[in-house]
């Protein structure tokens, strides 16, 4: 009886610690409750063993949270296969291109041959097509990696694998980039279907005042 009890106590302590830090699950690990398909039905998104995956086939262009978020600290893990492509939308509306009308934090197999000619602001961790990651710290395709996105007012910071790669000032960026989403201060959080498989887990959010 000791081992099961210790395991229960461990998970209780972990969940209690997360709650103490103000983080709440954005994905429950069981189904798509709290999410909705955009641009089609979410038939191409599956949940199994705590992992949220996209097949890359036809269906929803992306899935969005049912709630909108303005200032937040978002943490998740992602796994992208060889030559895979996805993204995390933030402060996005459901109308128009989410990466333009909102913002996209890129998720990519940075080492994929398919992407060797991309511009710096198109690699993992970038504010897509706006600000490139300061460092390239991604792991090989098929490995689990961490992403953290913190948005507060006009500041947007991104970490990949615990290394800060973007320190974004949206006011300054909006002066040099004609992208409406840089001026948005609230919207939906979303996960992109970009015609390739992708896997997400442990998606948590902390709402900032």
Percent of the chain with pLDDT over 90: 90
- Please say if the pLDDT value at position 72 is more than 70: yes
Angular region, 184: left φ>0, alpha ψ -120 to 50, beta rest: beta
- Please say if the pLDDT value at position 15 is more than 60: no
154 falls within a domain: yes
8 falls within a domain: no
Over residues 201-208, the mean pLDDT reads: 99
- Cα(209)–Cα(198) distance, rounded to whole angstroms? 32
14 falls within a domain: no
Helices (H), the chain: 2-20, 98-101, 170-176
Q: In the prediction, which pLDDT does 209 show?
A: 86
Over residues 183-197, the mean pLDDT reads: 98
Instruction: Return the CATH number at 139.
Output: 2.60.120.560
CB 189 within 8 A of CB 88: yes
CB 191 within 8 A of CB 85: no
159 falls within a domain: yes
pTM of the predicted structure, to 2 decimals = 0.91
- Please say if the pLDDT value at position 200 is more than 70: yes
Percent of the chain with pLDDT over 70: 90
Q: What tens digit of pLDDT does each residue of 19-66 get?
A: 559 999 999 999 999 999 999 999 999 999 999 999 999 999 999 999
Number of domains in the chain: 1
| Domain that includes residue 149, residue range | 23-207
Query: Would you place residue 177 in the very low, low, confident or very high pLDDT band (cuts 50, 70, 90)?
Result: very high
6 falls within a domain: no
- Spatial CA neighbour of 86 closest among 111, 62, 107: 107
């Amino acid at each position: 009886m000791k081992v099961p009890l210790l395991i229960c106590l461990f998970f209780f302590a972990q969940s209690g610690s997360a709650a103490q830090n103000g983080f709440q699950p954005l994905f429950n690990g069981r189904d798509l409750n709290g999410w909705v398909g955009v641009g089609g039905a979410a038939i191409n998104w599956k949940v199994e063993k705590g992992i949220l995956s996209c097949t890359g086939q036809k269906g929803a262009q992306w899935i969005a949270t049912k709630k909108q978020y303005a200032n937040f600290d978002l943490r998740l893990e992602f796994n992208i296969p060889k030559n895979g492509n996805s993204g995390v939308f933030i402060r996005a509306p459901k109308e128009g291109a989410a990466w333009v009308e909102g913002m996209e934090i890129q998720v990519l197999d940075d080492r994929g041959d398919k992407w060797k000619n991309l511009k710096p602001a198109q690699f993992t961790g970038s504010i897509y097509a706006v600000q490139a990651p300061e460092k390239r710290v991604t792991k090989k395709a098929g490995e689990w990696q961490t992403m953290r996105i913190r948005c507060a007012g006009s500041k947007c910071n991104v970490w990949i694998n615990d290394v800060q790669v973007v320190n974004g000032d949206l006011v300054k960026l909006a002066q040099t980039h004609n992208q409406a989403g840089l001026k948005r201060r609230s919207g939906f959080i979303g996960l992109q279907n970009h015609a390739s498989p992708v896997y997400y887990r442990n998606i948590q959010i902390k709402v900032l005042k």
